[in-house]
Amino acid sequence: MKMDESELIDKFLRGELTEEENQDFLKEIEANAELKKKLSLRKIVMEAIGLAYADKLKNSLVEFDKLLNRKRRFEFSWKMAAVFAVFIVTVSIVYFNVKNTNPYDFDVAEPGLPNEMGISKNLEFTRAMNDYKAGDLKLAAPVLNYLLTQNPKNDTLLYFSGICEFRNHNTAEAIRNWNQINSQSVFSNKVEYRLAIAYWVDGEPEKTQELLKKIKANKNHPYQKEAIKALRTFD
């Protein structure tokens, strides 16, 4: 079969001939048995290609199905990972919040006094301050309390003794010491905040909130930020 004849058959089967060409072709088929046979064969070929394509499509869908399953499993893993991540974050937040409701976490650092200050001329105070700076509050507290018996109104002794007692979980002692510091002392602002936290530990949250709100309202207070943070736990 020549290419032109083959093209003609294709065009006829695809409906690409003009009405006139179509009529001519139909007449030719009637007259030409060989062409009729070629047309039949082409129809069979086309049908067979269609069948093969349908099989191929079915197989492709089977493969696609496997791919979909893998994709869904992957998506599922991601969902699981997301759920796990949310769980971890939730647990962390809860842990963080629970942790932050511990008043001791709101205690602020106090480095202690340098030894060359006037009061440090007292050898026992210097030793106590060294113990305090070294974090050995069990040693520092009795020395400071002894010195307080010699000098009961000394605000420095009252302040640091209070810190030692507070950190040694003798909250009532700490509150008693800090309450003796008058409002003119250089430690008065710091004491205000420390008392708020001590009342919290001592189970008096109303007093704590009252003091913290007072500190919050004071823009010049050195512990304003800390007070705001502590107040949030009461929301």
Partner 1 sequence: MTLETSAIIEAIKAGSEKILFKLYESYRDEFVSWAIRNHQVSIEEAKDVFQESVVGLYKNVKTGKVDSLEVSIKTYLFSIGRNIILNSIKRKGIEAKAYENFKEGHDNAIHEQHEQEHILNLVKRLYEAMGSPCKEILEMYYERGFDMDSVALNVGYKNADVAKKKKYECLKALEERINMSKLKDILN
In the complex, the smallest distance separating the C-beta of residue 73 from partner 1, rounded to whole angstroms, is 14
Q: How far is CA 175 from the centre of its chain?
A: 38
Q: Which residues of 144-168 are buried (b: 16+ CB within 10 A; e: fewer)?
A: bbebbeeeeebbbbbbbbbbbbbbe
The pair phi, psi for residue 168, each rounded to 5°, is -90, 10
Stretch that binds partner 1, among 51-59, 153-161, 168-176, 181-189 (CB under 8 A): 51-59
36 near partner 1, rule: CB under 8 A: no
Amino acid at 144: L
32 near partner 1, rule: CB under 8 A: no
75 near partner 1, rule: CB under 8 A: no
Stretch that binds partner 1, among 44-52, 77-85, 87-95, 102-110 (CB under 8 A): 44-52
As to burial, measured by CB atoms within 10 angstroms (0-12 exposed, 13-18 middle, 19+ buried), residue 52 is: exposed
Which member of 21, 23, 68, 94 binds partner 1 (CB under 8 A)? 68
The pair phi, psi for residue 78, each rounded to 5°, is -65, -40
7 near partner 1, rule: CB under 8 A: yes
> Which positions touch partner 1 (CB under 8 A)?
1, 3, 6-7, 10, 14, 37, 40-41, 44-54, 57-58, 60-62, 64-65, 68
